[in-house]
Structure 1
Amino acid sequence: MEKPAVANHPHAALPPAPGADRHHCLDFADTAATLPAGQSYDMLAAPDSAMRWLATHDLTTPDVQLYEVCAQRMRTLRGHVRALFAARVEGVAPPEESLRAVNQALTAVPSAPLLAWDGAQGLRRVQAHPTDQAVNHALATIAADAADLLTGPDADLLAACGSAPCDRFLLRTHGRRHWCSTRCGDRARAARAYARRNDTSE
């Protein structure tokens, strides 16, 4: 499903796409991207960069240590989330395996705060997430956000960046714009202008 992780080049990463501030799952899907001139980046390519992404989005705590198997699980779920987004954008049925993967992530951990007793505070509700299940909780949160995006009012705004070869997703913010960044928009406009010049010169 997911391509093998490529080298992580944070300096090459594009700014968050429109809508990423409302949906962590959108930023999660865009943690890997194809850039012009055969370049690409993958923020989940290694455990340390995957951990930084989780911490930046408040999906884990600094005391959690990530291993390659955890980073691989993140990359796998990302592939399934991207497949669901692509199906929604193209208006086709989503892959069954991607639906299963997101549902498995959703149900891997308790979704409701549990009832706990504390001698100092008495009965209280707590969101149980022991360190060894931190990644499960992070993936469940991302999966829930993806499910909310795909079934909520923002689903109609979901789009793929229209500036090849960029393959990021975004939410259209105004009009028909469907570029994930200013850089992609400038490149698309330049390509159109070049094509028009060629048409008139023939």
Structure 2
Amino acid sequence: MRTMTELPPAPGAERYLALDFVNSAIALPGGQFTDLLGTPKAANQWLAERDLAPADAGVQEMCAAQLRSLREHIRSLFAARVAGIPALPSALSAVNDALSRAPSAALLYWDEKNGPYRATACPTNEILDRALAILAANAADLLTGADAESLAACDSPPCSRYLLRHGRRHWCSTRCGDRVRAARAYARRVGQK
């Protein structure tokens, strides 16, 4: 059974890591808030679960702060796209900076036993740069690709998650949809009295 902070991934998060990333800050009913990148240990776990860093990467607060900062810049870009307004130059700059931090092309290697393969070189001191570049590239792909028109903010206050809308669904989870439907039903009952 999931706890309040263990929401299922929002629609589209299975295809876009950037959606999962921006949704790592979770606003919950009753003024509760959970940040899955809130501590270095939590940030390291989040990165490791997504194969962006080894489990023993030893993320420090400075690195966790950089992740949270990029997340907020990408959230800003998502919000601008959803609202149809120009993006903040600082958000574009932050994403472009992250994109330029690590090589995007996988290098060619040769294993004597298994032959050729490709992998991105990533010395230990570049783990965070590589993760930031991957997250920024994924966000840029979403914002410029065919799915950009489906990007939406969850319509269930206080939820702050983003999703790819399919059909009439405007909520990131069944829980958020149930909360909106319950509020509508209550408003109808109160309005009938």
Q: 2:121 corresponds to which residue?
A: 128
Instruction: Give the match for residue 94 of structure 1.
Output: 87
Residue 124 of structure 1 deviates from its aligned partner by: 6.7
Q: Quick one: distance in 1 between partners of 2:117 and 2:190?
A: 69
Question: Which residue of structure 1 lines up, in the alignment, with residue 155 of structure 2?
Answer: 162
Within 5 Å, give how 1:22-61 maps onto structure 2: 22-61=15-54
Q: Which amino acid aligns with 1:87?
A: A
- Give the match's secondary structure for 1:34: strand
- How many angstroms apart in 2 are the aligned matches of 1:67 and 1:143? 20
Structure 2 match to 1:78? 71
Structure 1: runs of 5+ lacking an equivalent: 1-9
Q: 1:42 to 1:117 in 2, by over 3 A?
A: same
RMSD of aligned alpha carbons: 2.0
Match of 2:139 in 1: 146
Q: Secondary structure at the match of 2:168?
A: coil
Matching residue of 2:190: 198
Counterpart for residue 58 of structure 2:
65
Aligned counterparts of 1:193 and 1:134: Cα–Cα separation in 2: 49
Tell me the equivalent position of 1:185.
Answer: 177
Task: Tell me if the contact between 2:39 and 2:61 (Cα under 8 Å) persists in the aligned partners.
Answer: yes
Change (3 A) 1:194 1:72: same
Residue 158 of structure 1: CA displacement? Answer: 0.6
Partner of residue 6, structure 1? none
TM-score by length of 1: 0.88
Q: Which residue of 2 aligns with 1:3?
A: none
Structure 1 distance, partners of 2:168, 2:46, is 30
Mapped partners of 1:152, 1:34: distance in 2: 27
Amino acid at match of 2:47: L
Total equivalences in the alignment: 191
For residue 159 of structure 1, report the CA deviation from its aligned partner.
0.5
Return 13-22 or 82-91, whichever deviates more.
13-22
> Counterpart of 2:160 in 1: which secondary structure?
coil
Task: Report deviation, 1:11.
Answer: 5.6
Please state if 1:108 is matched with 2:101: yes
Q: Normalized against structure 2, the TM-score is what?
A: 0.92
> CA 1:190–1:118 in 2, change beyond 3 Å: closer, same or farther?
closer
Between the aligned partners of 2:61 and 2:6, the Cα distance in structure 1 is 21
Q: State the partner residue of 2:168.
A: 176
CA 1:131 to 1:38, structure 2 compared with 1: closer, same or farther past 3 Å?
same
Amino acid at match of 1:183: R
> How far off its partner does 1:104 sit?
0.4
What percentage of aligned pairs have identical amino acids? Answer: 55
- Give the CA deviation at 1:122: 8.9
The separation in 2 between residues aligned to 1:100 and 1:62, in whole angstroms, is: 30
Unaligned runs of 5+ in 2: none
